[in-house]
Structure 1
Amino acid sequence: MSAETHHGDGHAHADGKQHGAAHDHDHGHGGHSHGVAADADRRWLTIALALIVVYMAAEVVVGLLAHSLALLSDAAHMLTDAASIVLALVAMRLSARPARGGFTYGLKRAEILSAQANGITLLLLSVWLGYEAVRRLISPPAVTGGPVLVTALVGVVVNVAAAWCISRANRTSLNVEGAFQHILTDLYGFIATAVAGLVVLTTGFSRADAIASLVVVVLMLKAGTGLVRESGRIFLEAAPAGIDPDALGDRLVSRPNVVEVHDLHVWQITSGQPALSAHILVEPDEDCHAVRRDMEDVLREEYGITHATLQVDHAPEQILALIPPGARHADGGDGGHCADAHGPVHRDEPHEH
């Protein structure tokens, strides 16, 4: 392809010429990864951490005295709550560091590591608590209902306050959401424990304590599975939830003067920061820069993607000759562009411009 067919100013192709462009690279999406907003997030999480640590210590004491597995399991869960908030705070610090050296995105995915760790701890803890609850269902120990009820009711108040604090932070961050899910499942667990304490106090049915623990286990499994799944999608470079890459490719190739879209990749750098790259071929005599600007507008306005890297070239004659009507989504390998196209090739049907 001759030098005249190359447009753009962002990326070097294999032949040494410059192609494409990357615009609107705003790495501070939502304003929660730096500055005043990040300080506010850390402050809210620190308040929640203080509430949880103080109450957790009191709960362990009461749980041991009352022989309540439900209270001890709640205390254990609160320990992971505290750990999850500490982990979230550390991850927020790391992700705020600027990109340098080999970390070209900085350490933004430290937050995703934190979210995945929170999800895994929820799953592991649910296995242990499930085993203990089943064991106590079979052979229930004596449980003192009064202290269990009072402690659980106080726990509801503490967890409501902690959950409110964390909800004030940026929950679009999977990292903060991981800490919030820990607190939320603990809140539900305290409600179940309070009910169990009331049942034991009024009826003497000791197995209610173990049943309450099983309710907490189910909630832990649900929250942990969600966190592991969402963090795994980001690590595996899956498309953000709600974005269909094939539909996105069709949308881009339908724009005026666009002939083909291939090597289309869409992923998330971290929570709330989608990114996209693609190779775009346009009609031989059209303005590549105008096409690129049009596509960036579509990506920003319709998909919320502001971190887009587009390599835009004029389509060679052999590509134009290969496009029959209705040829979208043909596999790559027809020659004339990238030697190894990744994923489907989106082609526009012949139309008047």
Structure 2
Amino acid sequence: MTPGSIHPHGTPGGHSHRHAQGHHHGPAVTRESERRIRFVLLLTFGYALVQAAGGWWSGSLALIADSGHMLSDAAALLLALVAYRVARRPADRIRTYGFHRVRVLAALANGAALLLLVAWIAWEAIQRLQEPTAVMALPMLGVAAVGTLVNLAAAWILWSGDRADGNLRGAFLHVMGDLLGSVGAIAAAVGILLTGWSVLDPILSVLVALLVVRSAWRLVSDSIRVLIQAVPQGLDVDEAMRGLAGLPQVADAGHFHAWTLTDESSVATVHVSPAEGVDPLSLPPLVADWLHERYSIDHVTVQVDPPGRWGAAGQRGEP
């Protein structure tokens, strides 16, 4: 216990907690939304396999690349589904924050695998640009047309669901990206049919690969950011410290730390000292509410200490 620290209820203690929406660290679970995402996941993954097989048969690298794009989106849908499932599992005495980091580890593995796929597509595209390979444009066109219908159906399923659900909104955006890939494959197939330029296929495959690498890199970078406990996106530590120290009720603020727990939940700890004449018991809810309103941090631990405890190092939020 830190000398001079005060629990918000007036008893000796080290800190106080603020939970913006109760003591819960995971995303809200909506069974209807989960059902929609599960159906779209099966639809997307199933067609990605069909598209890969069709690309292999027709010789279309663009279809194989687009199947990789759909696999990346299927991975995102799977992570959204895992988020729903994980939200149901209660924390235990060993994993007091629950099992949310399982989702982060899955995202990191998926992102790394997709980056390897992009590297293979880029290598194969370079080879085909140097030595063009014949592409069966009609089968390519048929597979791409079916993909357009599949993506339209998936988009409608997600769009007609709960539009306030962040997982559904994110899944819808992924499906729209798949739809663009399918339309591009149709355009390439039509172009090959009309001109005989098989080089259109590797060119499109590179464009689709860029979509894949964007999604994959985001998965990898966001996962690493969470695992190394970096501050949440959009949070400037120095600015937060200045804001806390500038509150009229606060004399000093230091030892500020913040990190991401899940996509929808962030955590912070901070030490503060009361200004002269301010009730120390008023600081924990005041500071927690300020951090929530300014940075959407919904789990805040506030420790109240005597003034002048840390000096300049504390002002920078250093340990």
TM-score, normalised relative to structure 2: 0.84
Q: Does 1:8 align with 2:3?
A: no
Q: RMSD of aligned C-alpha atoms?
A: 3.3
Contact 2:72-2:216 within 8 A present in 1 as well: no
Partner of 1:350: none
- Work out the CA distance in 2 between the residues paired with 1:293 and 1:82: 41
The verdict on how the C-alpha distance between 1:2 and 1:20 changes in structure 2, with shifts beyond 3 A counting, is closer
CA distance in structure 1 between the partners assigned to 2:191 and 2:2 by the alignment = 82
Q: 1:144: which partner in 2?
A: 136
Deviation digits for residues 296-351 of structure 1 (CA, Å, limit 9, x no counterpart): 22223333223111011232xxx38x98xxxxxx235xxxxxxxx98359xxxxxx
Query: Is 2:220 the partner of 1:228?
Result: yes
Are 1:22 and 2:20 an aligned pair? Answer: no
Structure 2 CA distance, aligned partners of 1:303 and 1:81?
Answer: 29
Offset at residue 235 of structure 1 (A): 1.5
CA distance in 2, matches of 1:109, 1:237: 11
Q: Which has the larger radius of gyration?
A: 1
Q: Deviations over 1:160-195 (max 9, x none)?
A: 33345456577745x995x66764543332222111
Check conservation: 2:245, 2:252, Cα contact below 8 A. yes
Structure 2 equivalent of residue 263 of structure 1: 255
Question: After superposition, what is the alpha-carbon deviation per residue over 1:118-177, rounded to whole angstroms, capped at 9, x for unaligned?
Answer: 32232121111111111111222211222212321221231233345456577745x995
Match of 1:310 in 2: 302
In structure 1, distance between residues paired with 2:56 and 2:6: 72
One-letter identity of the residue aligned with 2:179 = L
Q: Equivalent residue for 1:351?
A: none
> Does residue 62 of structure 2 align to residue 63 of structure 1?
no
TM-score, normalization: structure 1?
0.77
Cα 1:87–1:234 change in 2 (3 A) is closer
Aligned residues: 316
- Pair 1:331-2:305 in alignment: no
Equivalent position of 2:154 in the other structure: 162
Is structure 2 residue 16 aligned with structure 1 residue 42? no
Partner of 2:182: 190
For the residues of structure 2 that align with 1:220 and 1:312, how far apart are their CA atoms? 48
Aligned CA distance change for structure 1 residues 258 and 60 (closer, same or farther; 3 Å)? closer
- Answering whether residue 91 of structure 2 is matched by residue 99 of structure 1, we say yes
2:317 to 343, 347, 353: 343
CA distance in structure 1 between the partners assigned to 2:198 and 2:260 by the alignment: 48
After TM superposition, which residue ranges in structure 1, 4 or more long, deviate above 6 angstroms? none
Q: Structure 2: where are the runs of 5+ without partners?
A: none
Q: What is the correspondence of 1:206-285 to structure 2 with a 5 Å cutoff?
A: 206-283=198-275, 285=277
Shift of 1:7: 1.7
In structure 1, the gaps of 5 or more residues are 324-329, 333-340, 346-353
